[in-house]
């Protein structure tokens, strides 16, 4: 996505300017062409020599440099780029952008252009929270300036809070995303996703079955978010209270065995998300006719274990999706049980949630989840199922774009 993209990288003054070196390295690694610009303050934090060595390009620093003007005027410099990135963006450069100042090369370039601009703010936490900066951010957003960060954390000045520059990898992802938007492409365009959803009904006789309380809301929300991200979605669903989203390829099933068959028929895919609440057991022999009460004699049902669809797909030698995601609905020791499940089922990520009756998750609109990956446990605040789905799909897009 970044091959041969021309990025004008403006580095302003701040301790995080050292991270811009890594940013340049990563962008060039993805094939982008970097033209670096540094303010006088930036050159106090990193040397123009390091910047130009990594960028493989000369660094532009002065507004009134006749050689530069002869080679390429500042107007031309800003217009020849596909994207302008300001990283780190100081409080000062943002204030200048708001006011339309043009008293150094960086501010002049930013004023003389109609190229999209992304800023990665970096400053002390109090500077960030100052009403002037907050006002400027609103104004810049109104001017269609894009933002990435700042992040929360410890600062070089010893304070802690919002104001750290976004990590280079995060900035690269945002740049990737911006180019995709500019091209009218979506992060999962061209990717095939499979979602299992709903519950299963395991028949006892023609009128009775074993089921659970899953509504299918989370699975439908995930399928919807995948569609919005541009993926082609195969949706294998058992009975559910929520309709499948318009635009997915739906296969309706009743039992776990049918769901496994439908899932295998829907492969190959790039990402598979197993959100269905599959019954663990089925009745060995389904009665052909309705079972009758017989003078107080109780029926004895013999159970067999259902195939584990997630585990079967995750353990495939051939045609395993690149990313396999399972759910772990737990009522006790949520994270511990979910970590064990990640290992046992062989999936890449587990979305673990507490489904104790008092949480209202089963059948409700909200979910409080932990995302468990090889990198660790990420605990999300309780939020709507749609938001959980969007955040999960954002994570999926991030790793798929990285591939
Ligand atoms: O073992 P447990 O049911 O807690 O595992 C939950 C995860 O495994 C969910 O992602 C669910 O969709 C999947 N699963 C499955 N087939 C089963 C049982 C669970 O795909 N038979």
281-291 tens-digit pLDDT: 999 999 999 99
Same fold, 6-182 and 192-402: yes
Residue 69: the pLDDT is 58
Residue 62: the pLDDT is 85
Residue 68: the pLDDT is 61
Q: Which atom of ligand 1 is nearest to the CA of 325?
A: 10
pLDDT band at 402 (very low <50, low <70, confident <90, very high): low
Classify 181 as helix, strand or coil: helix
The more confidently predicted of residues 363 and 19 is 19
Quick one: what percent of the chain has pLDDT higher than 70?
97
Residue 403: the pLDDT is 55
pLDDT band at 76 (very low <50, low <70, confident <90, very high): confident
272 CA distance to ligand 1 middle (Å): 13
Ligand 1 neighbour 276 (Cβ under 6 A): yes
In the chain, domain spans: 6-182, 192-402
Q: Give me the catalytic one of 157, 269, 339, 347.
A: 157
User: Which among 262, 327, 344, 353 is the best mutation to test ligand 1's pocket, defined by most ligand atoms within 8 Å of the CB?
Assistant: 327
Residue 71: the pLDDT is 58
277 CA distance to ligand 1 middle (Å): 6
Ligand 1 neighbour 397 (Cβ under 6 A): no
317-367 tens-digit pLDDT: 999 999 999 999 888 888 999 999 999 999 999 999 888 777 777 767 888
Paired strand residues for 354 = 330
Query: Rg of the chain over CA atoms, in angstroms?
Result: 27
For the cut 80, the answer to whether the pLDDT of residue 182 exceeds it is: yes
Rounded Cα distance between 358 and 217, Å, is 18
Instruction: Respond yes or no: is residue 339 known to be catalytic.
Output: no
Ligand 1 neighbour 309 (Cβ under 6 A): yes
Q: Which atom of ligand 1 is nearest to the CA of 313?
A: 20
Write out the CATH class of domain 6-182.
alpha beta
Rounded Cα distance between 330 and 148, Å, is 35
Rounded Cα distance between 13 and 33, Å, is 22
Which token pair is 24? 């340049």
363-388 tens-digit pLDDT: 678 888 999 999 899 999 889 999 99
For the cut 70, the answer to whether the pLDDT of residue 66 exceeds it is: no
Angle CA 126–131–133, to nearest 5: 75
Q: Which fold, 192-402?
A: Rossmann fold (3.40.50)
Which token pair is 290? 């309705």
pLDDT band at 67 (very low <50, low <70, confident <90, very high): low
278 CA distance to ligand 1 middle (Å): 6
Q: Strands 117-121 and 83-89, how do they pair?
A: parallel
Q: Which atom of ligand 1 is nearest to the CA of 345?
A: 8
Instruction: Provide the whole-model pTM.
Output: 0.72
Q: Which residues contact 260 (CB under 8 A, 6 or more apart)?
A: 307, 309, 312
């Amino acid at each position: 996505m970044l091959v041969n993209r021309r990025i004008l990288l403006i580095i302003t003054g701040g301790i995080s300017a050292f991270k811009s070196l890594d940013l340049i390295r990563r962008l060039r690694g993805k094939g982008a062409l970097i033209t670096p610009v540094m303010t006088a303050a930036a050159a106090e934090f990193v040397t123009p020599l390091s910047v130009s060595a990594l960028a493989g390009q000369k660094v532009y620093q002065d507004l009134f440099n006749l050689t530069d003007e002869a080679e390429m005027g500042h107007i031309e410099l800003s217009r020849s780029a596909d994207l302008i990135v300001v990283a780190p963006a100081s409080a000062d450069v943002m204030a200048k952008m708001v006011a339309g100042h043009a008293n150094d090369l960086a501010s002049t370039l930013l004023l003389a252009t109609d190229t999209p601009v992304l800023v990665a703010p970096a400053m002390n936490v109090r500077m960030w929270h100052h009403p002037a900066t907050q006002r400027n951010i609103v104004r810049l957003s109104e001017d269609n300036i894009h933002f990435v960060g700042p992040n929360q954390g410890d600062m070089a000045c010893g304070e802690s809070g919002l104001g750290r520059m976004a990590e280079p990898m995060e900035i690269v992802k945002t740049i990737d995303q911006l180019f995709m938007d500019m091209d009218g492409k979506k992060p999962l365009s061209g990717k095939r996703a499979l979602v299992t959803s709903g519950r299963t009904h395991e028949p006892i006789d023609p009128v009775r079955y074993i089921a659970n309380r899953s509504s299918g809301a989370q699975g439908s929300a995930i399928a919807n978010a995948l569609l919005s991200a541009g993926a082609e979605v195969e949706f294998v669903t058992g009975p559910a209270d929520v309709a499948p989203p318009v635009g997915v390829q739906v296969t309706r099933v009743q039992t776990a065995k049918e769901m496994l068959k439908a899932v295998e028929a829907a492969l190959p895919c790039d990402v598979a998300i197993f959100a269905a609440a599959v019954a663990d057991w089925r009745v060995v022999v389904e009665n052909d006719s309705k079972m009758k009460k017989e003078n107080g004699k109780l029926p004895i049902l013999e159970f067999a274990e259902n195939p584990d669809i997630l585990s079967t797909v995750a353990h495939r030698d051939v045609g395993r999706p690149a990313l396999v995601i399972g759910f772990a609905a737990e009522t006790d020791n949520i994270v511990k049980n979910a970590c064990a499940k990640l290992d046992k089922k062989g999936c890449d990520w587990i979305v673990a949630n507490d489904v104790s009756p008092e949480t209202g998750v089963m059948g409700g609109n909200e979910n409080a989840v932990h995302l468990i990956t090889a990198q660790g446990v990420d605990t999300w605040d309780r939020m709507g199922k749609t938001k959980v789905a969007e955040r999960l799909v954002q994570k999926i897009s991030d790793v798929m774009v990285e591939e």
